[in-house]
Structure 1
Amino acid sequence: MKLLSVAIPCYNSESYMRHCIDSLLPGGEEVEILIVNDGSTKDNTAAVADEYESRYPNICRAIHQENGGHGEAVNAGLRNATGIYFKVVDSDDWVDYSAYMEILNTLRDFVIGEKTLDMLISNFVYEKQGVKRKKVMNYRTALPKNELFDWDDVKVFILGQYILMHSVIYRTELLKQCGLELPKHTFYVDNIFVYQPLPHVKTMYYLDVNFYRYFIGREDQSVNEQVMIGRIDQQINVTKLMLGYYDVMKIKQRKLRRYTVRYLEIMMTISSILAIKSGSEENLEKKKELWQHLRKQNLKLFLRLRWGFMGQGVNLPGKGGMKFPIAIYQMTQKFFGFN
């Protein structure tokens, strides 16, 4: 059995996937690198995957499937994972060597020891193209460092500071037991990957190291703002799925409940702001329908989100009302360096 399985979803990724895979190879045979070729047709992604499996048969595995989208590539990785822990690294991203070694040492200590670790959290860096000073997302104000902790020990997450797929390594069996399966042909499912398992997470550990390097800059990236607006239906669909996985208002652990409510608040806000920024009456109607969907599904959560600061901000009337959430979004965008 491997210590860590890393799934790399690849779709026409030939021009950059080698950098990603090479950054993970120093983990040696304790690590299983699952290179998932998600039906690539425009380049030699499949051949590159096979090449790495041939060169590193005890580390790399090539998995070929019909195109199912990012989520289905993650699903394939999880289905094939034999590691005790599971991580997703997108094919245009990479990991830092020294932080990687600390990550593996920490995971190894828990496997050898008597205590079970459900989720390891580390920092990630926005590797934004053309920007010299890279923004680091850390969790120093929110999480205890270098110790096993539970939800009661979590401190305060500030605005814009939340756990992303880049931050987490889950215990593989936990993901399988909670029935995680991401939807096919849908973008933005990384939010589901992080969110759905959270009520099953009992123990966490935060390593304050800049492990994951998150590349931003290609015009065709799913996180490009114009691309996100064009795919607003998928953003809204993911938000609706997240609203339906469980009733966050019934979660007994106060800090877990607070965090999951905040996560849904962020998802509702992003969907709403994308609709507003599009300037499309059709998309504004979709925003209205999303809030109505929430009201019908969970009135208590609707009241909490609709009359919170963000909910009021994205639902102000008239053209003047639309300027306020866009201004807040642009300030946050500039500060955190996303998109």
Structure 2
Amino acid sequence: MSHTQNPANPRISLVVPVYRVQGYLRACLDSILEQSFTDFEIVAVDDHSPDACGRILDEYAARDSRVRPIHLEENQGIGKARDLGALRASGDYIFFLDSDDTVAEGALQAIADRLELLGDPDILLLNHVRTYWTNRVQVSAAGELLAAAGTDVFTALERPEYLTMFAVVWNRVYRREFYVGNGFTFTDGIYEDALMVYKTMLTAETIAGLDHVCVEYRQRRQGNSMRTPGRKHFGIFEQYAFLFDFLDERPHLEPVRALLFERMVSHFLFTLAREDRVRPQDRPAFFKQSSEQYKRYKPVGFKKPEGKIGLRFDLLERGSYPTYAAAIFAGAARAKLRKRAAKVKTQLGRKAYDQLYRMHLRRPIDENLAVYSAYWNRGVTCNPAAIFEKAKELAPHIRGVWIVRPGEEENVPAGIDYVVARSPRYWEVIARAKYLVNNVNFANEVIKRPGQIHLQTHHGTPLKQMGIDQQRFPAAAKNMSFHKMLERVDRWDYSLSSNQHSTEIWERVYPCAFESIDSGYPRNDVYFKATAEDVARIRAELGIKEGQTALLYCPTVRDYQKGFIPRIDLERMCRELGPDFVVLVRAHYFYGADPQLQILQERGLIKDVSKYPVVEDLCLAADALITDYSSIMFDYACLDRPIVSYVDDWEVYSKARGVYFDLLSQEPGQTPGATATDENQLIEVFRSGAWKDQRSTELRAAFRERFVQYDDGHAAERTVRKVFLNQDATPAVIPLAERTPAPAPAPGAPVLIPSQADGADRVTT
């Protein structure tokens, strides 16, 4: 049967239920839309997702008419969402795809080819792989089985071994007339896939296989509803009861009853053994129901499997949970206790302070104590500092204590309580504080107690790849244990975000169970509160002369090289731009003092502001920013002033460190303004006025729309209300068009730049 592409009747309808997957949804949709085969539609059902999933679907629908979003007014669960999607589907075939999984390259073409070759079977079984956050890819057990099917078409009674495939609906496609015509619908609750798989397989008159890998099944480290323990997992018993009712009504299916019984019991035992499904305190009740269902549905003459699994079948049939637990769980429990004891011992070590820390861990949590740290204890700065100040105003009952590294004590502002890292009082406040606030992770040895609240504020918007994405880039991944990194992230309760891009990235690259607070970055509040007088005062303190155009140059660290290496001949740049420009140079804090910068400053050519304590002041003082991959560009965009991207090593950096979008693309939303890839281009950007022309202004506007999403001057308040006061994160974010950033420096006299090319003078304003 051939098929001609018809938008009203596509070949394949991908039904995608969507709920709380904003970190993965784009990857899912992109994997479909980038397929070489194009005769499809995506029926995406937003199951009243509380995050940004609905907005993401609408964004994709606006770009591609094949994306058809459906927004539900209330959450109905994955089964009902799939049912609605199937009813709205118009394709020849229905392909149920989970929204955190992806379609493998070439999959849709392979499916379409096989369907046409075999004359449109009722069900086509698909191969898949499991993908892990460690980048490990595991082939499925079904590969050989599917390869053995070749081009045969069969029924489940003829080939019952295909009933043993992983019982999920996304590893097969259904002919829509078969599926809808038989009135298949999902039952409520989880484990609905198994019932649907067996009922459809036993009903189908034509089944075929495809060994091409079609689905990349994401093994989420956390956040998968199936791996959240609770009584909901008892729903498995009802699903299998429905299945055996179905079998009872169809005596001709008796030949597969024993096989399905074995599948059911194996599923019970698998679920019982998983602590991420059945809690230890619920195991006796789960075992009891499993045993009852075993006895109720056991076929006459059923022969148990051999080996260890057969022993478990036998113990389940006997119905004594104490006997089962002694035989199955005792050894595992002992091993777990040994592992836990070793982990605690490793965390605490053997030094004298460990005993002190242990003692404080046994004391009550101080409900009115918050501990703050920033940049690995470098001082009172960044988002934690802004939150600290706002908490003094809105939550004065919360005492704040800062952690600083040895040698930084004299830089702590007067009146602020602090402890030196790893001092005796440090262990006390870390152990007893209700709130832990940091823009990086606390040390591995810090143990998060039940009842403590950890707020991760971050310190930038990700352009360079972060978290587990760094595994693919040796320069970023060197000397890093990603397992330990995620153990640190497991302590987070809240994660701050200043834009939807960040929210999605954080949720995907840190696959842990935190809640995102889309409040904006508190450190950026000042960009909407500072006055013209503040800007003039800061410029005067920095020694910027009246009428000078101040350029703030902030390059970021290079993972692939050691030490600070200026990527601009600053002496030449200052000479060619002339005295009406002044360059403020801020090296990354990872680097120490640079003697070359000191020499240039002593000669009056630049101002070395690397050690200036408040970077926000530098941004307020600057007329324009020059940077490369530093996240300062996203903060500076709050001010709606020119940003110039100087990226002379783009090819090397993007390959060695990895990036999420192309700064040089000149695409709206990716490039913040004028760009330069060598020193001559950079100088010409300022000579020609391109740094602030209409094109750069338009690019900056699109960049701000994407990245200055939640920053409006009230981020600290929203954060304090949410975390410290347990209130809604209010006030609501002000629309971008209604925000007023701090005024730019007062315009001076026209700037005269001598042209090195022709000797003539060029005047810019």
Instruction: Answer whether TM exceeds 0.5 for this pair.
Output: yes
Partner residue, 2:225: 222
Moved more, 98-107 or 65-74: 98-107
Partner residue, 2:302: 304
Alignment counterpart, residue 154 of structure 1, candidates 143, 150, 159 = 159
Partner residue, 1:334: none
Contact preservation (8 Å) 1:249, 1:301: no
Pairwise mapping of residues 77-156 of structure 1 onto structure 2 (< 5 A)? 77-110=85-118, 115-130=119-134, 132-141=136-145, 143-151=148-156, 153-154=158-159, 156=161
Structure with greater helix share of residues: 1
Give a deviation string over 1:120-144, Cα, whole Å, max 9, x none.
Answer: 0121111122252523332424752
Pairwise mapping of residues 15-94 of structure 1 onto structure 2 (< 5 A)? 15-25=23-33, 26=35, 29-41=38-50, 43-57=51-65, 59-65=66-72, 66-94=74-102
Specify the code of the residue in structure 2 equivalent to 1:135.
V
Work out the CA distance in 1 between the residues paired with 2:109 and 2:266. 33
Pairwise mapping of residues 283-294 of structure 1 onto structure 2 (< 5 A)? 283-293=283-293
Contact preservation (8 Å) 2:93, 2:174: yes
Contact preservation (8 Å) 1:35, 1:49: yes
TM-score norm. by structure 1 comes to 0.79
- Across the aligned residues of Structure 1 and Structure 2, the Cα RMSD in angstroms comes to 3.4
Partner residue, 2:396: none
Alignment counterpart, residue 178 of structure 2, candidates 170, 174, 179 = 174
TM-score norm. by structure 2 comes to 0.38
Specify the code of the residue in structure 2 equivalent to 1:208.
D
Give a deviation string over 1:167-199, Cα, whole Å, max 9, x none.
Answer: 211112222233221134x22222223122122
Specify the code of the residue in structure 2 equivalent to 1:32.
E
Give a deviation string over 1:229-256, Cα, whole Å, max 9, x none.
Answer: 55322333333333333328833473x5
What percent of counterpart residues are identical? 20
Contact preservation (8 Å) 1:277, 1:326: no
Specify the code of the residue in structure 2 equivalent to 1:75.
D
Give SS of 1:292's match: helix
Contact preservation (8 Å) 1:229, 1:274: no
Q: Which has the larger radius of gyration?
A: 2
Contact preservation (8 Å) 1:87, 1:170: yes
Work out the CA distance in 1 between the residues paired with 2:174 and 2:25. 23
Q: List gaps (5 residues or longer) in structure 2.
A: 1-8, 333-765
Work out the CA distance in 2 between the residues paired with 1:323 and 1:90. 38
Contact preservation (8 Å) 2:121, 2:208: yes
Deviation at 1:102, TM superposition (A): 0.9
Work out the CA distance in 2 between the residues paired with 1:214 and 1:181. 23
Deviation at 1:53, TM superposition (A): 1.8
1:10 aligns with 2:9: no
Work out the CA distance in 1 between the residues paired with 2:235 and 2:221. 20
Contact preservation (8 Å) 1:120, 1:207: yes
Moved more, 118-127 or 287-296: 287-296
Work out the CA distance in 2 between the residues paired with 1:326 and 1:301. 28
Contact preservation (8 Å) 1:242, 1:264: no
Moved more, 212-221 or 233-242: 233-242
Give a deviation string over 1:54-110, Cα, whole Å, max 9, x none.
Answer: 2111x1100111210111111111111111111111111001112332112222444
Partner residue, 2:635: none
Contact preservation (8 Å) 1:248, 1:260: no
How has the CA–CA distance of structure 1 residues 94 and 9 changed in structure 2, closer, same or farther, with 3 Å as cutoff?
Answer: same
Give SS of 1:151's match: coil
Give a deviation string over 1:236-294, Cα, whole Å, max 9, x none.
Answer: 3333333333328833473x5454344333333335445996332x5423432344356
Work out the CA distance in 2 between the residues paired with 1:328 and 1:19. 41
Q: Which has the higher contact order (CA 8 A, sep 6+)?
A: 1
Q: List gaps (5 residues or longer) in structure 1.
A: 330-339
Contact preservation (8 Å) 1:265, 1:305: no
Partner residue, 1:234: 235
Deviation at 1:211, TM superposition (A): 1.0
Work out the CA distance in 2 between the residues paired with 1:103 and 1:79. 21
Work out the CA distance in 2 between the residues paired with 1:145 and 1:164. 21
Partner residue, 1:195: 198
Contact preservation (8 Å) 1:315, 1:321: no
Work out the CA distance in 1 between the residues paired with 2:215 and 2:185. 23
Size of the aligned set, in residue pairs, is 316
1:267 aligns with 2:271: no
